[in-house]
Amino acid sequence: MLMKLSYVCPFSKEICEANTTIMCPMCEENCKTWKLSDSCVYAKVTHLFDNGGTVFFAIFMAIWATVFLEFWKRRRAELTYDWDLIDWEEEEENLRPQFEAKYSRVERVNPISGKPEPFQPFTDKLSRLMVSVSGIFFMISLVLTAVFAVVVFRLIAMEKFASVDWEFVKNNLQFATSGTGVCINFMIIMSLNVVGVWPN
């Protein structure tokens, strides 16, 4: 399959036939110049996941998601009718006991229901909002830092792998760099998932 790809994809074919194109060394020490055709397999494998078919796949996914959502709305309406839930309304949500105990001294009339209810002052609400917003921005900055760290790691790892004496690693430099980057990315994602659900 990889051999047939070189006839289909002109970019892979150009890379595989570039026997006279000499590339700069990957690192400063213990690295030699290399031919562009040495990355022929990597170019073919990359073309498997990044080609013109991805555009049609994206269009198909967009259409499928829309059709699925519309069919689910129809199915939901059928179930609502079959189970006699057309006039059903959700019950009024009860206040948390902690909230009611803390703000029971200050009450106001609810403009919708017309009933008195505990009221949270704006200053208290603003302080809680600031804490929440600062936490959100901290997590966003943490994710961006992790992404940037993975990019820097891949650049450093490529240079280090290029200076290794093991020929197997040198011949599969891109795969080794991508593989270690994916593993580190996976560990970061799992760690952030644990941090995200820990307070709950």
Residues 46 and 59 grouped into a single domain: no
Confidence at residue 6, expressed as pLDDT on a 0 to 100 scale = 39
Residues 129 and 177 grouped into a single domain: yes
Residues 30 and 58 grouped into a single domain: no
Stretch among 15-24, 126-135, 140-149, 180-189 having the lowest mean pLDDT = 15-24
Helices (H), 38-166: 40-49, 53-82, 97-102, 122-162
Confidence at residue 95, expressed as pLDDT on a 0 to 100 scale = 66
Residues 41 and 63 grouped into a single domain: no
Residues 194 and 153 grouped into a single domain: yes
Angle of CA points 61, 62, 64, to nearest 5° = 60
Q: 158 to each of 26, 29, 47, 175, how far by Cα in Å?
A: 7, 13, 21, 10
Residues 65 and 135 grouped into a single domain: no
pLDDT bracket for residue 59 (50, 70, 90): very high
Confidence at residue 4, expressed as pLDDT on a 0 to 100 scale = 44
Confidence at residue 9, expressed as pLDDT on a 0 to 100 scale = 72
Stretch among 78-82, 87-91, 186-190 having the lowest mean pLDDT = 87-91
Stretch among 21-30, 71-80, 145-154 having the lowest mean pLDDT = 21-30
Residue 149 included in any domain: yes
Tens of pLDDT, residues 133-167: 998 899 899 889 988 999 898 888 887 777 777 77
Question: What SS3 class is residue 121?
Answer: coil
Residues 47 and 60 grouped into a single domain: no
Query: Structurally, how many domains does the chain consist of?
Result: 3
Do 44 and 7 form a contact (C-beta atoms < 8 A)? no
Higher-confidence position of 32 and 62: 62
The predicted model gives 51-74 an average pLDDT of 92
Residue 102 included in any domain: no
Residue 101 included in any domain: no
CA distance 177 to 175: 5
Residue 97 included in any domain: no
Do 37 and 21 form a contact (C-beta atoms < 8 A)? yes
Residue 182 included in any domain: yes
Confidence at residue 100, expressed as pLDDT on a 0 to 100 scale = 64
Residues 22 and 59 grouped into a single domain: no
Residue 107 included in any domain: no
Tens of pLDDT, residues 88-132: 665 556 667 776 666 666 677 777 777 777 777 777 778 888 988
User: What's the mean pLDDT when you consider all of the chain?
Assistant: 79
Residues 59 and 126 grouped into a single domain: no
Residue 93 included in any domain: no
DSSP 98: H
Residues 81 and 42 grouped into a single domain: no
- Name the residue range of residue 67's domain: 53-86
pLDDT at 197 over 90: no
Confidence at residue 89, expressed as pLDDT on a 0 to 100 scale = 65
Do 118 and 100 form a contact (C-beta atoms < 8 A)? yes
**Burial of 145: CB neighbours in 10 Å, binned 0-12, 13-18, 19+:** exposed
